């Protein structure tokens, strides 16, 4: 038919260049990019491609000039900054290379190739402590995108660097984490810490976890060789009597806080209603699980503590877990009518969770490892939250329990100290590397 449009549009020169580059036809792609730069001298994509072709031919100075033009046109372009880092390194300007690569990562934190090169430069400069978390984050981000999983998903040009990164990660993390409790090992001997060493091996994946109960599976750290059960005998925790004896004074302060509606915040930090549905459901309108925190992730909530002086005086006398930026987690846990906390697991079996029930209407219960427990006001229950567990309030009234975490009774004092140091250092490393 006369005048009918073509079924396939003619590709533009830029599209042709990209296609050829994708096919590995580098010489042809470079030719087209150079032609494009004649008419569009600030084409950042073209400047980068030609620069790296020139660099591959052993002309880093010329490559650097092209990349500086690209940076002038687009100062925050991550690809340009990454390429400048490579060229500066070839020119012996390691400080400039590090600065450029750091700039690329400020623009695109998940740019794993730029991070790999940055880690290599830092290690070469003797800054191993800075290099290690960058290596770890680079591999983690790449593998999250299906890259660097094996030889076929790792481009030949970076295989040696990726393998070096993985070896550095394995050796570096082991040494870093073992050093966290080295003073204890020196003082008390290796035999006193062999279970801690085993727990570290399980965490790093060099030792298999042998769970004594298949229902148990910590999300973070499994400590072997200690008892495993959903619920624990109160006789193992002689301080429970002291806590239960304070029930009335604690409940009085809770009641006042509920009446004033002060200091409560959502227990769950989610990305919105859709994400919340993975953790919480409601049969009587929108579900709510709030907490009045005395401690959260090891941080003391001073205002909340000051408003409940009798409660905090009792709590601070108890053997709760204290690990900077991790523990304790102590709060009034408030579950509104119809709310159901869906099955989930805790992070480590080195600590157990205690509930002191304060306001418990009918049709409220806790289930741990498939075993149901009905709370009784003023009577504590201690359980291992690394078993799958859930809780519900099917009544028309609010349910409140005081939650706190304590050490597993089978851990020795030396092991508790070592776990405290180990978890703190792991947390520091994960924070530096951006791991979650």
The per-residue pLDDT for range 86-105, each reduced to its tens digit, is: 999 999 999 999 999 999 99
pLDDT value of position 436? 63
What does DSSP assign to residue 357?
E
Using a pLDDT cut of 90, give the percent of the chain over it: 92
pLDDT in tens, 275-321: 778 889 989 888 999 999 999 999 999 999 999 999 999 999 999 99
- Two structure tokens written together for 55: 């660099």
HSE, side-chain direction, 13 A CA sphere, residue 334: 20
The C-alpha atoms of residue 86 and residue 102 are separated, in whole angstroms, by 12
Alpha-carbon span 174 to 176, nearest angstrom:
6
> Average pLDDT, whole number, for the chain?
95
Q: How would you list the strands of the sheet with 280-282, edge to edge?
A: 280-282, 339-344, 389-393, 364-368, 371-373
Residue given tokens 């504590």 in the structure block:
380
Structure-block tokens of residue 253? 């302060």
pLDDT digits (tens, 9 = 90+) for 199-240: 999 999 999 999 999 999 999 999 999 999 999 999 999 999
For 139-178, the pLDDT digits (tens) are 999 999 999 999 999 999 999 999 999 999 999 999 999 9
Rounded Cα distance between 55 and 67, Å, is 11
The per-residue DSSP string of 362-387 comes to SSEEEEETTEEE--BTTB-EEE-TTB
The pLDDT-based confidence of 4 (bands split at 50, 70, 90) is: very low
pLDDT tens column, 240-266: 999 999 999 999 999 999 999 989 999
Residue 358 near residue 314, CB atoms below 8 Å = no
pLDDT digits (tens, 9 = 90+) for 370-385: 999 999 999 999 999 9
> pTM of the full predicted structure?
0.89
Q: Position of tokens 């709590």?
A: 315
Distance separating alpha carbons of residues 398 and 102, to the nearest angstrom: 51
- CA-to-CA distance for 144 and 224, rounded, in angstroms? 29
């Amino acid at each position: 038919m006369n005048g009918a449009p073509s079924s396939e549009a003619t590709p533009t020169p830029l599209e042709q260049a990209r296609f050829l580059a994708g096919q590995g036809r580098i010489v042809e792609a470079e030719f087209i990019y150079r032609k494009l730069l004649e008419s569009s001298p600030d084409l950042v994509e073209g400047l980068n491609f030609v620069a790296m072709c020139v660099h591959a031919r052993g002309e880093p100075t010329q490559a650097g000039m092209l990349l500086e033009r690209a940076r002038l046109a687009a100062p925050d372009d991550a690809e340009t900054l990454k390429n400048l880092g490579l060229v500066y390194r070839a020119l012996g300007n390691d400080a400039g290379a590090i600065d450029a690569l750091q700039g690329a990562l400020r623009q695109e934190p998940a740019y794993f190739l730029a991070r790999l090169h940055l880690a290599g430069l830092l290690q070469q400069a003797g800054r191993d402590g800075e290099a290690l978390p960058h290596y770890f984050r680079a591999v983690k981000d790449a593998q999250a995108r299906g890259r660097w999983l094996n030889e076929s998903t790792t481009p030949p040009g970076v295989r040696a660097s990726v393998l070096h990164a993985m070896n550095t990660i394995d050796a570096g993390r082991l040494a870093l984490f073992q050093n966290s409790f080295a003073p204890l090992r020196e003082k008390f001997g290796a035999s006193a810490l062999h279970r801690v060493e085993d727990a570290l091996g399980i965490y790093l994946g060099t030792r298999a976890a042998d769970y004594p109960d298949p229902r148990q599976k910590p999300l973070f750290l499994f400590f072997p060789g200690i008892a495993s059960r959903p619920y624990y005998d109160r006789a193992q925790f002689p301080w429970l009597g002291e806590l239960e004896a304070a029930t009335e004074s604690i409940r009085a302060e809770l009641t006042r806080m509920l009446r004033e509606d002060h200091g409560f915040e959502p227990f769950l930090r989610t990305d919105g209603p859709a994400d919340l549905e993975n953790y919480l459901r409601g049969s009587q309108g929108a579900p709510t699980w709030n907490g009045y925190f005395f401690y959260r992730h090891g941080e003391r909530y001073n205002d909340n503590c000051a408003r409940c002086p009798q409660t905090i005086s009792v709590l601070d006398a108890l053997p709760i877990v204290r690990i900077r930026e991790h523990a304790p987690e102590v709060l009034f846990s408030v579950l509104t009518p119809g709310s159901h906390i869906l099955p989930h697991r805790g992070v480590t079996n080195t600590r157990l969770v205690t509930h002191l029930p304060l306001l418990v209407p009918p049709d409220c219960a806790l289930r741990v490892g498939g075993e149901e427990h009905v709370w009784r006001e003023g009577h504590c229950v201690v359980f291992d939250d690394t078993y799958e567990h859930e809780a519900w309030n099917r009544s028309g009234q609010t349910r409140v329990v005081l939650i706190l975490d304590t050490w597993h009774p089978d851990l020795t004092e030396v092991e508790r100290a070592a776990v405290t140091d180990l978890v703190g250092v792991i947390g520091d490393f994960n924070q530096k590397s951006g791991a979650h």
